[in-house]
């Protein structure tokens, strides 16, 4: 209670700011005077003073905000922001690499999600744990035409990352996740060459980011039926596990459940990308790139034979005949056209064949913010990276400018919160993905404005928001302590597994937990019951990894 009373209404990036970058804080609630000060944490040394900007009411809650701009302060060190009469802000750093630790931790978050292997103390520290879910004997729930692998066939599908707070593995959600990590590498290879996150494979001559991605890639390969190239939608329990450690999870059967069109397209896209990226590491991984290329083409060929599969996956349809019913994550998606377009793009960029060039000529430049079910823009980013045209550059800029068009209306000065719809299930990933869109606009123009606004969304995620939370576990003065993440809750360690991004405010509150605040931008609760606002997920961490590492990589230029 004491600490609650002490909590500062100053909302800012609780990690830090670039020495030469923008530095803004949001002061919420009433203030006695319009002044603010930046001091050393002990309060003895005042290094900056200025006045707060005029009051604004937030559009998505009753929060009143006055912004404090201290961008002109270019002194390295550890500071707090003080407003007379209010408790000081959390301490923050001003420096040349304020997000280096975060950049490493967010990527290391994937190591902590690894299924089927023990996490050893020398890599996992106090979050070490035994292996869970070996997945060496998994039952097939077959599709109608699967003569060679009928219902009940036993296959092995070990490894990969747990999707989120649950212990299942879903191809569709791996699709966008793998893209963001591979794209980060493909955009910034030199930066990642020297980026060590202390995983078992570190030091093997391959960038750690590619070693980590490979752990999930090898699992994805097991999800393809070698008989016809089709790809199972997910590897899962029938029901979600209880809040227990992986090795204590129920030993009831695991299933791979039905091939789906969205899974096949996402798989084809990831495999095509992997073929070109791992092709440069053929000494370390002989044959891998060829396997990926072949897997991509075979998955594509399967889609040509099954274009009639309307829905990506329908759990309702499957449960009409499957026993026991499957109740885990659906990742259902009635529109596979964006997945198809993305697959075409990656297949073309890797194979450079006439067939895919033809198909690509009909692929639109998709303007929809990426989510697990909307992946068209991923292809746009790849084309911009590997086959850029003036039109592709222009559209990066137009998309970014559209994100900025109402920036003045957002009391917190972040791009996140441009529309109420930004705050949905996993909305924090929207903030990160908007940041990535802005990074691409920067790469198209070299105009710092776009990077500064990308930073505004990192500021959002790390504390400049209406909840006052820094949403990444283990970072900042106030971050999630009780994420809906089974290992974090069940391991008996007080601190949650670090480097994981919580879903964030979600006005639909589908979990029926007790939310202390229920407005659009405050509907968040740091309780492990809250899977709709406080779960973590591989597809939410991925744009964070891209954004933070891109900022760290680009700042040197």
Cα end-to-end span (Å), the chain? 46
User: Does the footprint of ligand G3I cover residue 528 (CB under 6 A)?
Assistant: no
Active-site annotation holder among 93, 135, 146, 166:
166
CB 218 within 8 A of CB 231: no
Give yes or no for residue 426 binding ligand 9MR (CB under 6 A): no
Residues 326-345 that bind ligand 9MR (CB under 6 A): 329
* Number of residues engaging ligand 9MR in binding (CB under 6 A): 7
508 touching ligand G3I, by CB under 6 A? yes
> β-strand 77-82 against 35-39: which pairing, if any?
antiparallel
Q: How far is CA 255 from the centre of its chain?
A: 26
Looking at 359, 490, 537, 553, which residue binds ligand G3I (CB under 6 A)? 537
Gap between the Cα atoms of 241 and 354, Å rounded: 47
User: Is 526 an annotated catalytic residue?
Assistant: yes
**CB nearer ligand G3I, residue 154 or residue 419:** 419
Q: Which stretch binds ligand 9MR (CB under 6 A): 45-53, 103-111, 160-168, 290-298?
A: 160-168
Please state the three-class secondary structure of 237-295 as a single string: CCCCCCCCCHHHCCCCCCEEEEECHHHHHHHHHHHHHHHHHHHHHCCCCCCHHHHHHHH
Among 111, 232, 348, 425, binds ligand G3I (CB under 6 A): 425
Q: What track of x and - describes contact with ligand 9MR for positions 207 through 246 (by CB under 6 A)?
A: ---------------------------------x------
Q: Does 521 contact ligand G3I by CB under 6 A?
A: no
Residue 199 Cβ, how far from ligand G3I at the closest point, in Å? 23
426 binds, among ligand 9MR, ligand G3I, none (CB under 5 to 8 A by kind): ligand G3I
Does 115 help bind ligand G3I (rule: CB under 6 A)? Answer: no
166 is catalytic: yes
| Separation of alpha carbons 131 and 159, rounded Å | 10
- Residues 223 to 242: which contact ligand G3I by CB under 6 A? none
- Name the catalytic one among 266, 365, 511, 526: 526
Determine contact, residues 65/55, Cβ cutoff 8 Å. yes
User: Who's near 491: CB < 8 A, 6+ residues apart?
Assistant: 127, 129, 245, 497
Determine contact, residues 166/151, Cβ cutoff 8 Å. Answer: no
Stretch that binds ligand 9MR, among 29-37, 163-171, 257-265, 468-476 (CB under 6 A): 163-171
- Among 484, 485, 511, 552, which one carries the catalytic annotation? 484
Task: Name the strands in the sheet holding 92-95, side by side, starting at the edge strand that comes first in the sequence.
Answer: 16-18, 92-95, 77-82, 35-39, 46-51
Task: Give catalytic status of residue 484 as yes or no.
Answer: yes
Q: Which residues of 318-331 are buried (b: 16+ CB within 10 A; e: fewer)?
A: beeebeeebebbbb
User: How do beta strands 255-259 and 138-141 pair?
Assistant: parallel
Residue 288 binding partner per list ligand G3I, ligand 9MR, none, with a CB distance cut-off of 5 to 8 Å that depends on partner kind: none
CB distance 53 to 67 below 8 Å: yes
Task: Please tell me what DSSP assigns to residue 472.
Answer: B
Q: CA-based Rg of the chain, rounded to a whole angstrom?
A: 23
* 329 part of the interface to ligand G3I, by CB under 6 A: yes
Q: Which is nearer to ligand G3I, 521 or 552 (CB)?
A: 521
Q: How far does Cα 448 stand from its chain's mean position?
A: 24
36 binds ligand G3I (CB under 6 A): no
Dihedral through CA 143, CA 144, CA 146, CA 152, nearest 10? Answer: 70
List 12, 80, 107, 164, residue binding ligand 9MR (CB under 6 A): 164
**Applying CB under 6 A, what is the total number of residues that bind ligand G3I?**
14
Residues 6+ apart with CB under 8 A from 451: 438, 439, 442, 551, 554
Q: In this chain, which stretch among 163-171, 252-260, 287-295, 302-310 interacts with ligand G3I, using CB under 6 A?
A: 163-171
The answer to whether the beta carbons of residues 474 and 108 sit under 8 Å apart is no
Closer by beta carbon to ligand 9MR, 165 or else 376:
165
* Distance in angstroms (rounded) separating the CA atoms of residues 544 and 428: 9
The HSE-up count of residue 480 (CA atoms within 13 Å, CB side) is: 33
Tell the smallest beta-carbon distance from residue 438 to ligand 9MR (Å): 28
Question: Quick check: 166 binds ligand G3I (CB under 6 A)?
Answer: yes
**Is residue 112 at the binding interface for ligand G3I, with CB under 6 A as the rule?**
no
Return the residue of 93, 166, 201, 366 that touches ligand 9MR, per CB under 6 A: 166
Residues with Cβ within 8 Å of 344's Cβ and at least 6 positions away in sequence, in order, are 356, 359, 360, 363, 379
The distance of closest approach from Cβ of residue 417 to ligand 9MR in the complex, given in angstroms and rounded to an integer, is 24
Query: Given the rule CB under 6 A, which residues bind ligand G3I?
Result: 163-164, 166, 329-330, 421, 424-426, 508, 510, 531, 535, 537
Query: Given the rule CB under 6 A, which residues bind ligand 9MR?
Result: 164-166, 240, 329, 531, 535
Q: Which residues are catalytic?
A: 166, 484, 526, 535
């Amino acid at each position: 209670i004491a600490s609650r009373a002490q909590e500062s209404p100053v909302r800012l990036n609780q990690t830090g700011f670039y020495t030469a970058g923008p530095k803004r804080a949001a002061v919420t609630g009433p203030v006695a005077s319009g002044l603010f000060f930046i001091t050393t944490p002990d309060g003895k040394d005042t290094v900056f003073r200025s006045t707060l900007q005029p009051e604004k009411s937030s559009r998505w809650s009753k929060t009143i905000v006055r912004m404090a701009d201290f961008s002109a302060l270019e002194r390295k060190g550890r500071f707090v922001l003080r407003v007379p009469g209010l408790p000081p802000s959390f301490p923050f750093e001003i420096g040349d690499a304020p997000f280096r630790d975060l950049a490493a931790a967010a990527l290391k978050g994937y190591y902590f999600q690894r299924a089927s292997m023990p996490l050893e103390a020398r890599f996992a520290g106090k979050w070490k744990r035994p292996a869970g879910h070996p997945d060496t004997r998994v039952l097939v729930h077959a599709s109608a035409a699967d003569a060679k692998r009928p219902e009940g066939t036993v296959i092995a599908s070990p490894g990969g990352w747990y999707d989120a707070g649950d212990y299942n593995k879903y191809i569709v959600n791996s699709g966008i996740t793998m893209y963001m990590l591979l794209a980060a590498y493909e955009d910034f290879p030199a930066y990642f060459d020297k980026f060590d996150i202390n995983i078992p494979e570190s030091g093997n001559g391959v960038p750690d980011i590619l070693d980590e991605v490979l752990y999930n890639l090898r699992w994805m390969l097991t999800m393809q039926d070698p008989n016809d190239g089709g790809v199972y939608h997910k590897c899962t329990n029938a029901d979600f596990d209880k809040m227990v450690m992986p090795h204590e999870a129920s030993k009831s059967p695991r299933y791979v459940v039905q091939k789906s069109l969205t899974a096949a397209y996402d798989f084809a896209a990831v495999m095509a990308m992997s073929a070109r990226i791992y092709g440069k590491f053929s000494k370390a991984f002989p044959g891998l790139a060829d396997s990926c290329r072949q897997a991509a083409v075979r998955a594509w060929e399967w889609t040509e034979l099954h274009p009639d599969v309307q829905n990506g996956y329908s759990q309702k349809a499957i449960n009409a005949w499957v026993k026991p019913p499957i109740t885990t994550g659906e990742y259902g998606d009635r529109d596979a056209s964006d997945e198809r377009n993305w697959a075409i793009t990656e297949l073309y960029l890797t194979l450079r064949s006439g067939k895919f060039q033809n198909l690509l000529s009909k692929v639109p430049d998709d303007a929809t913010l990426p989510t697990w079910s909307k992946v068209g823009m991923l292809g746009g980013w790849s084309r911009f990276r590997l086959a850029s045209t003036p039109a592709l550059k222009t559209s990066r800029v137009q998309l970014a400018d559209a994100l900025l068009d109402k920036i003045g209306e957002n009391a917190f000065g972040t791009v996140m919160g441009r529309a109420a719809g930004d705050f949905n299930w996993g909305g924090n990933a929207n903030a990160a993905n908007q940041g990535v869109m802005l990074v691409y606009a920067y790469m198209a123009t070299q105009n710092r404005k776009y990077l500064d606004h990308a930073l505004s969304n990192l500021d959002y995620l790390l504390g400049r928001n209406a909840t006052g939370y820094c949403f990444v576990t283990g970072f900042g003065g106030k971050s999630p302590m009780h994420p809906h993440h089974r290992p974090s809750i069940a391991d008996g360690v007080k601190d949650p597994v670090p480097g994981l991004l919580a879903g964030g405010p979600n006005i639909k509150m589908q979990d029926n937990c007790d939310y202390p605040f229920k407005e659009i931008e405050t509907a968040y609760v740091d309780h492990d019951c809250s899977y709709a606002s406080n779960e973590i997920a591989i597809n939410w961490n991925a744009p964070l990894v891209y954004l933070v590492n891109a900022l760290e990589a680009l700042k040197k230029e």
